[in-house]
Amino acid sequence: MDEKTTQVGKFFTLPNDANNHNTTDNNDNFLKYITAEIEKTTPNIGVVPVPNANIGTNAGGKTMLGAKYGSLPNPAPLATGWVPWQESADTRYAPSEGLSRGTLFPGLDLPFKNIVNTGSPYAGTPLGELLAISFAAHELVLYLDTHTNDTQAFAVLKELLALKQEAHRRYTAKYGPVTTADLINETSFTWTRTPFPWNFEEGGR
């Protein structure tokens, strides 16, 4: 082992300080290093900074560590299962990144063999916008199903729904109805004449 670093747990080595002393006693230093390590291995993340971090200090204004942990009851009765509670929806990927990864929440992003999809499907096209915004809104709805009183998350949902309405309008204007209700804007019965999604090409050809 390099004498200028100290092994911390299983995965990280922390550089020693100027006097070649182990710096793991300094909790701020440790958490700052861990956060930096996490960010190095998960590039291109559009993270919304959390102003009041639950765990870990800010490293360059971004807090990843807090989003990966939830809370458990203390004390907890025996003979029950407990999943840690996701405390907030504040730390999120941008909608198109969320769609690509399959979740809006970095803490829940746990890929097989750490291989992630790169690039956003149909980014910049009306279909891509509709898919990304709809996905983000849906993720917030599932979150709010179990977090009824999270007014902050509800405010975000309402913004996303407004964006979704606009994305829906733009998509249907160009490519035809997405629901039968959209036929109100059509001049003929286009429902059966635009491709069904298992036959979609780019942008809904």
Partner 1 sequence: MFTYEKRLQYPIKIAHPNPKLAQIVLTQYGGPDGELGASLRYLSQRYSMPYGEVQGLLTDIGTEELGHLEMIGTLVHQLMRNATVEEIERSGAAAYFVDHTAGIYPQSAGGTPWSAAGMQSTGDAIADLTEDMAAEQKARKTYDNILRLSDDPDVNDVIRFLREREIVHYQRFGEALRIVTERQDQRNIYATNPSFDRN
Quick one: which segment of 27-35, 52-60, 130-138, 156-164 binds partner 1 (CB under 8 A)? 130-138
Q: Distance between CA atoms of 111 and 154, rounded to whole angstroms?
A: 28
Q: Distance between CA atoms of 100 and 122, rounded to whole angstroms?
A: 10
Residue 123 interacting with partner 1 (CB under 8 A): no
38 vs 129, beta carbon nearer partner 1: 129
Residues 6+ apart with CB under 8 A from 25: none
Residues 6+ apart with CB under 8 A from 135: 95, 98, 99, 104
Kindly state the tokens that stand for 7.
Answer: 């092994």
Residue 80 interacting with partner 1 (CB under 8 A): yes
What is the smallest separation between the CB atom of 14 and partner 1, expressed in angstroms? 30
Kindly state the tokens that stand for 25.
Answer: 């006693």
What is the smallest separation between the CB atom of 46 and partner 1, expressed in angstroms? 17
Binding-site ranges for partner 1 (CB under 8 A): 73, 77, 79-86, 99-103, 105, 108-113, 115-117, 121-122, 127, 130-131, 134-135, 138-139, 141-143, 145-148, 177-181, 191, 194, 196-198, 200-202, 204
